[in-house]
Amino acid sequence: MASSIPTEVYLIRHGIAAERGTHHAKDADRPLTEKGQRRTQRVAERLGELGLSFEALLVSPLVRAQQTADLLLDAGLAKTLTTFEPLAPAGALADWLSWLSDWQQTDGGCVALVGHEPNLSSWAQQLVVGAVTDRWQLKKAGVVGLRVPTAAHAIAHSQLFLWVPPRFLL
Protein backbone atom coordinates (compact mmCIF):
# COMPACT_ATOMS: atom_id res chain seq x y z
CA MET A 1 0.00 0.00 0.00
CA ALA A 2 1.33 3.44 -0.92
CA SER A 3 2.43 5.69 1.89
CA SER A 4 0.57 8.94 2.50
CA ILE A 5 3.80 10.47 3.79
CA PRO A 6 5.53 12.52 1.08
CA THR A 7 8.81 11.15 -0.24
CA GLU A 8 11.82 13.43 0.20
CA VAL A 9 13.60 13.66 -3.14
CA TYR A 10 16.95 15.35 -3.70
CA LEU A 11 17.92 16.32 -7.24
CA ILE A 12 21.69 16.68 -7.48
CA ARG A 13 23.45 17.98 -10.56
CA HIS A 14 26.79 16.44 -11.45
CA GLY A 15 29.92 18.41 -10.61
CA ILE A 16 32.10 20.46 -12.95
CA ALA A 17 33.07 18.28 -15.91
CA ALA A 18 35.63 18.48 -18.71
CA GLU A 19 34.57 20.80 -21.53
CA ARG A 20 32.94 19.31 -24.60
CA GLY A 21 35.49 18.23 -27.19
CA THR A 22 38.41 17.97 -24.75
CA HIS A 23 40.00 14.54 -25.22
CA HIS A 24 36.63 12.78 -25.08
CA ALA A 25 35.05 11.56 -28.29
CA LYS A 26 31.61 11.28 -26.75
CA ASP A 27 29.76 13.66 -24.42
CA ALA A 28 28.78 10.68 -22.24
CA ASP A 29 32.47 10.05 -21.47
CA ARG A 30 33.31 13.51 -20.10
CA PRO A 31 34.65 13.09 -16.52
CA LEU A 32 34.65 15.50 -13.61
CA THR A 33 37.60 17.86 -13.57
CA GLU A 34 39.91 17.92 -10.54
CA LYS A 35 38.11 21.06 -9.36
CA GLY A 36 34.78 19.35 -10.00
CA GLN A 37 35.86 16.36 -7.91
CA ARG A 38 37.07 18.53 -5.02
CA ARG A 39 33.96 20.74 -4.94
CA THR A 40 31.55 17.83 -5.32
CA GLN A 41 33.35 15.87 -2.60
CA ARG A 42 33.01 18.85 -0.25
CA VAL A 43 29.31 19.23 -1.10
CA ALA A 44 28.81 15.52 -0.39
CA GLU A 45 30.66 15.77 2.93
CA ARG A 46 28.61 18.81 3.91
CA LEU A 47 25.35 17.01 3.10
CA GLY A 48 26.52 14.20 5.38
CA GLU A 49 27.33 16.71 8.14
CA LEU A 50 23.76 17.99 7.78
CA GLY A 51 22.48 14.46 8.45
CA LEU A 52 21.28 13.51 4.99
CA SER A 53 21.18 9.91 3.86
CA PHE A 54 19.42 8.25 0.95
CA GLU A 55 17.71 4.87 0.84
CA ALA A 56 17.90 5.03 -2.97
CA LEU A 57 20.50 6.74 -5.12
CA LEU A 58 19.63 6.81 -8.83
CA VAL A 59 22.21 8.09 -11.29
CA SER A 60 22.49 8.92 -14.97
CA PRO A 61 24.70 6.53 -16.96
CA LEU A 62 27.02 9.37 -18.06
CA VAL A 63 30.53 9.31 -16.57
CA ARG A 64 30.35 12.70 -14.83
CA ALA A 65 27.11 11.77 -13.06
CA GLN A 66 28.48 8.34 -12.09
CA GLN A 67 31.57 10.01 -10.59
CA THR A 68 29.36 12.45 -8.68
CA ALA A 69 27.28 9.56 -7.29
CA ASP A 70 30.47 7.71 -6.29
CA LEU A 71 31.48 10.75 -4.22
CA LEU A 72 28.06 10.67 -2.50
CA LEU A 73 28.64 6.98 -1.72
CA ASP A 74 32.15 7.71 -0.42
CA ALA A 75 30.66 10.35 1.91
CA GLY A 76 28.32 7.71 3.35
CA LEU A 77 25.12 9.26 1.99
CA ALA A 78 23.92 5.95 0.50
CA LYS A 79 24.94 2.31 0.58
CA THR A 80 24.46 1.56 -3.12
CA LEU A 81 23.62 3.28 -6.36
CA THR A 82 21.50 2.29 -9.32
CA THR A 83 22.15 3.47 -12.84
CA PHE A 84 18.86 4.83 -14.17
CA GLU A 85 18.67 5.56 -17.92
CA PRO A 86 15.88 8.19 -17.63
CA LEU A 87 18.36 10.46 -15.80
CA ALA A 88 20.42 10.75 -18.99
CA PRO A 89 19.93 14.09 -20.80
CA ALA A 90 17.04 12.86 -22.98
CA GLY A 91 15.25 11.11 -20.10
CA ALA A 92 11.57 11.57 -19.29
CA LEU A 93 10.02 12.56 -15.97
CA ALA A 94 7.19 10.06 -16.60
CA ASP A 95 9.71 7.18 -16.46
CA TRP A 96 10.96 8.34 -13.07
CA LEU A 97 7.41 8.79 -11.78
CA SER A 98 6.71 5.16 -12.76
CA TRP A 99 9.78 4.10 -10.76
CA LEU A 100 8.66 6.31 -7.85
CA SER A 101 5.22 4.72 -7.80
CA ASP A 102 6.78 1.27 -7.35
CA TRP A 103 9.27 2.63 -4.80
CA GLN A 104 6.57 4.25 -2.68
CA GLN A 105 4.56 1.02 -2.63
CA THR A 106 7.42 -1.29 -1.71
CA ASP A 107 10.37 0.50 -0.13
CA GLY A 108 9.86 4.19 0.47
CA GLY A 109 12.28 6.56 2.12
CA CYS A 110 14.54 9.36 0.96
CA VAL A 111 15.68 9.30 -2.69
CA ALA A 112 18.49 11.12 -4.50
CA LEU A 113 18.70 11.56 -8.26
CA VAL A 114 22.03 12.53 -9.86
CA GLY A 115 21.65 13.95 -13.33
CA HIS A 116 21.96 16.86 -15.72
CA GLU A 117 20.58 20.21 -16.79
CA PRO A 118 18.14 21.19 -18.09
CA ASN A 119 16.35 17.99 -17.05
CA LEU A 120 16.65 18.37 -13.28
CA SER A 121 15.40 21.96 -13.21
CA SER A 122 12.63 21.12 -15.66
CA TRP A 123 11.56 18.12 -13.57
CA ALA A 124 11.59 20.22 -10.40
CA GLN A 125 9.46 22.91 -12.01
CA GLN A 126 6.95 20.37 -13.34
CA LEU A 127 6.69 18.72 -9.93
CA VAL A 128 6.21 22.04 -8.10
CA VAL A 129 4.18 24.21 -10.50
CA GLY A 130 2.92 21.71 -13.07
CA ALA A 131 4.64 23.11 -16.17
CA VAL A 132 7.90 24.55 -17.39
CA THR A 133 7.16 28.26 -17.66
CA ASP A 134 10.40 29.89 -16.49
CA ARG A 135 14.04 28.98 -16.76
CA TRP A 136 15.06 27.46 -13.46
CA GLN A 137 18.73 26.48 -13.39
CA LEU A 138 20.51 24.20 -10.98
CA LYS A 139 24.25 24.93 -10.69
CA LYS A 140 26.82 22.14 -11.05
CA ALA A 141 26.92 20.15 -7.76
CA GLY A 142 23.80 22.06 -6.67
CA VAL A 143 21.00 20.40 -4.73
CA VAL A 144 17.20 20.66 -4.88
CA GLY A 145 14.99 19.17 -2.16
CA LEU A 146 11.35 18.29 -2.84
CA ARG A 147 8.59 16.65 -0.86
CA VAL A 148 6.74 14.54 -3.38
CA PRO A 149 3.29 13.07 -2.61
CA THR A 150 2.24 9.84 -4.29
CA ALA A 151 3.68 9.55 -7.79
CA ALA A 152 0.17 9.80 -9.27
CA HIS A 153 -0.25 13.24 -7.65
CA ALA A 154 3.33 14.49 -7.93
CA ILE A 155 2.94 16.95 -10.82
CA ALA A 156 2.04 20.43 -9.46
CA HIS A 157 1.61 19.03 -5.93
CA SER A 158 5.21 18.63 -4.79
CA GLN A 159 6.73 21.06 -2.32
CA LEU A 160 10.08 22.74 -2.86
CA PHE A 161 11.96 22.99 0.44
CA LEU A 162 15.57 23.41 -0.71
CA TRP A 163 17.34 24.94 -3.70
CA VAL A 164 20.97 25.50 -2.92
CA PRO A 165 23.95 26.23 -5.15
CA PRO A 166 27.18 24.52 -4.13
CA ARG A 167 28.80 27.73 -2.87
CA PHE A 168 26.49 27.65 0.16
CA LEU A 169 27.70 24.14 0.99
CA LEU A 170 31.44 24.67 0.46
Segments making up each domain of the chain, as ranges = 7-168
Could you tell me the maximum CA-CA distance found in the chain, to the nearest angstrom?
49
Q: What is the tens place of the pLDDT at every residue in 38-85?
A: 999 999 999 999 999 999 999 999 999 999 999 999 999 999 999 999
Residue burial 4-13, b: 16+ Cβ < 10 Å; e: rest:
eebbbbbbbb
- Single-letter amino acid code for the residue at 131: A
Bridge partners of 32, per DSSP, are 17
| HSE value, Cβ hemisphere, 13 Å, CA-based, for 164 | 15
Task: Please give the pLDDT value at position 101.
Answer: 94
Task: Please give the pLDDT value at position 120.
Answer: 97
Residue ranges in the chain whose pLDDT is less than 70: 1-4, 22-25
Task: Please give the pLDDT value at position 158.
Answer: 97
Q: How many CB atoms lie under 10 A from the CB of residue 127?
A: 25
Q: What is the mean pLDDT of the chain?
A: 93
Overall pTM surpassing 0.85 (yes/no): yes
CATH code of the domain occupying 7-168: 3.40.50.1240
Task: Please give the pLDDT value at position 62.
Answer: 97
Q: How many CB atoms lie under 10 A from the CB of residue 49?
A: 10
Residue 54: strand, helix, or coil: coil
Q: What is the tens place of the pLDDT at every residue in 70-82?
A: 999 999 999 999 9
How far apart CA 82 and CA 92 sit, in angstroms, is 17
